[in-house]
Structure 1
Amino acid sequence: MSIDKKTVEPGGDVTISVNVKNEGKVGGSHLLELSLDGKIVDNKSVKLSAGQSDTVPFTVSKENTGSYRVSVGNQTGSFEVKKPSKFEITNYSMDRKIVKTGSTLEVSVVVKNVGNKKSSRSVVLYLDGEAVKSKPVSLEVGKSKSIAFKISENKIGSHKVSIGGYSENFRVLPPETFELRNKVENLKEEVEVRKDRIANLQGKIENLKEGVKAREDKLSDLQGKLEESRGELNSKKSKLRMVQNELEKERKEKEGIPMRWVVFGIFLALIVGLVVGRKT
């Protein structure tokens, strides 16, 4: 039997876990009854195959202070309900949730005196329901202090740490499994970093594409304006040629008028000459 909290405040939940195994040769069901101070308060039926085992949890809560004895079959244990402490425990943290055998992890809390006088108490750390470490703390009213515990566990599997009203599980792995897991985690982190880099590059490529498209649009617009300017230039050239032709025509006409007069004068002189010749 395991009890997750040895001490709890009134109304707090206490979880009692019982390991059950069918040691017979055939499967069957078994009724488990939880007794509290000799009185049955809960029961659960568990069905197991031959040789199969299971862990069955029960949860109880008591409002009255005092010590309570629990039993399931021939397994027994106890917990105590105490008045609310004048100390408040907050800011619980565990630095790692997976360690290899023999490695150390740190659990910390902040303890504050919320009473009306200077008080002392011990902060107790429970590992798998058993008190394994404690630290005394004495505080003036309103003062607080950070308390840290370092724990190490060699038993492979999941373990539960409890301090005050906080509890959290951590896992212990064999060294080779732990190292392999670290490699996997490192690869995952590297993949995420590469994904971020790829996403960043894709963003830059999209920006470049947008820039290229904007420049292509601008170039197309300039080419259109250039063609328009060429058309206007050709039109002006045509008009210029027309004006030049008109000017050339006028020039020739102006140059042609005196010549006609010369011809007319010569013709007139010939006529006068003929007339004078006849008279003589």
Structure 2
Amino acid sequence: MLSSRTLLVMAAVCFLFTLAIPTAALTVGEDETSDDVVLEPTSSYAELDGSNELVLDFDGFNGNTAFVTRDVFTISVGEDADNIEAVWIDHDVEGVAFYADGSEIAPESRLELSPGDSQTIDVTVDTHVAKSTTETFTVVVEYEDEEDDQESDIDGSSLSVSPTTVEAGETVTVNATYRNDGDGWGVETARLTVDGTVVDQRTVALSSGEKQTVSFERRMEWPGTYEIGIEGVGYQSVTVAGPQVEVSSATIDDATITAGETADVRATVRNPSDRRIERTLELSVDGIVVDTRTVSIPANGERAVTFQRSFDEPGTYAIEVSGVDAGTVTVEERAGFDIRNRELSPMTTAALAPPATAGLLFLAIAANRRWSFVR
């Protein structure tokens, strides 16, 4: 079992499709709560290396596939850890998700573990979306407040958007500063929006009096004028010049499906210019980008693009493709549905353009008396 009596952080490395990169060390500190939560490999995809780091090796799953790897590792709570309220895994990598008993482990869906409990973790990877990359995962441990009157008060300010006039294909940088004016730890999610659609997000964890600048970069590919900013902080108009390539239509093949089924969303991109142009289309569900496709459109021609999106929860969802309304999908309930009995299509909460560089993924646990993240 992975254990550490003096480390604040227990590190684990996950190699996604690439094994030729050495393990990187994390700086750690000391804390009396370091025994509260431990990681333990429970499958052939996970092992402890010489540095006592948990290595997840998915090199055998190269290619455009979606797969579920069950019972990869466990998260265990110590017998004496009676002040833990919740545990979850936080990350911003599209195409990768962690599950426990069929439910995704995320800030919105947390594990509630009692002293002595151990939870087996499944890992899902969709290589249509996930690419070899270097990202950071954090296992977050939430503790009960030692004092009931300690609360966080995190606000964002000092929004800046630059430049405000660009050519199609150029990048806009958006910055904001978050500060915690409360007397306790807290977390806030900074969400980058374009015309109200969430296209990127970052998690900010701050102690009392701490501040942090959050920076986003957004590649602007479609001509027009857009309101770009950070949700709850502000926005600014940005004008994009260039050939008037546009999504001329967006439709849904079947507007009513059953939970667990996939909806096909079709879009047509038109290029009226006299040269071939490459553009990235974004599929959004209820105002959040969940998938992307990069296509090349011939001069004076069109290109058809199809997104496939699965829906696990009943409800009605609004669908758009790069700002063009495709309609709604109604998802009806199906009795006895188990997410682990099928392969998954793209399932990220906020899709980013996948990085092109190969690398490794870090998985780490952070613990403090209330909240703590590894950054």
User: What's the TM-score once normalised by structure 1's chain length?
Assistant: 0.35
**Which structure is higher in strand share?**
2
**Which structure is higher in helix share?**
1
User: What's the TM-score once normalised by structure 2's chain length?
Assistant: 0.27
User: Which of the pair has the greater relative contact order for Cα pairs under 8 Å at 6+ separation?
Assistant: 2
